């Protein structure tokens, strides 16, 4: 029953796909929270959709902080994302970090707005299918002067 429920939920997610078609943009923003997002951002970069990729520095998970206390260091999410982008062929000089300790999509949008003046800019946001609608609503509200498109 649980497996059938998960499959049905996944099917609904694909049916309710709120992602946009990518267009030439000023930047690509790969949201934190999934290691599936940086490869998509890299593909968009390599296809020429934008000259740089921005990735946030999310808040460290509490388990990572606890492990650091005993001397075990997990790589930060932004470091893993940077490594993924490099593996895909994105030069490090084309990657920008923003935010510090972002805890949510709203934090990411607010931080981006402070560090990248959005008025009149085109921003291509990369997220997952289940998150596309919410990400689009948040980024368009927080960055009203920008043209925001969300790719999942």
pLDDT of residue 61: 86
pTM here?
0.85
> Does position 12 have pLDDT exceeding 70, yes or no?
no
- At 33-69, the pLDDT tens digits run 999 999 999 999 999 999 999 999 999 888 888 988 9
pLDDT of residue 151: 96
Q: For residue 7, name the pLDDT band (cuts at 50, 70, 90).
A: low
pLDDT of residue 93: 98
Average pLDDT taken over every residue of the chain: 91
β-sheet with 27-30: strand ranges across: 95-102, 53-58, 27-30, 122-126, 147-151
Which contiguous run of DSSP H or E holds residue 107? helix 105-115
Total residue count of the chain as it appears in this document: 152
Q: For residue 14, name the pLDDT band (cuts at 50, 70, 90).
A: low
More confident residue, 58 or 2: 58
> Does position 9 have pLDDT exceeding 60, yes or no?
no
Q: For residue 11, name the pLDDT band (cuts at 50, 70, 90).
A: low
């Amino acid at each position: 029953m649980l497996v059938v429920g998960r499959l049905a939920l996944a099917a609904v997610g694909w049916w309710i796909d709120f992602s946009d078609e990518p267009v030439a943009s000023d930047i690509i923003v790969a949201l934190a929270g999934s290691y599936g997002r940086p490869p998509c951002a890299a593909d968009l970069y390599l296809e020429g959709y934008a000259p740089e990729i921005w990735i946030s520095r999310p808040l460290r998970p509490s388990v990572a902080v606890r492990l650091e206390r005993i001397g075990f260091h997990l790589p930060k999410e932004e470091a893993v994302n940077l490594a993924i982008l490099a593996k895909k062929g994105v030069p490090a000089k084309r990657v920008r970090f923003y935010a510090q300790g972002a805890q949510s999509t709203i934090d990411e949008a607010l931080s981006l707005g402070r560090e990248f003046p959005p008025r009149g800019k085109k921003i291509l946001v990369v997220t997952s299918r289940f998150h596309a609608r919410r990400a689009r609503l948040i980024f368009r509200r927080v960055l009203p002067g920008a043209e925001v498109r969300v790719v999942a």
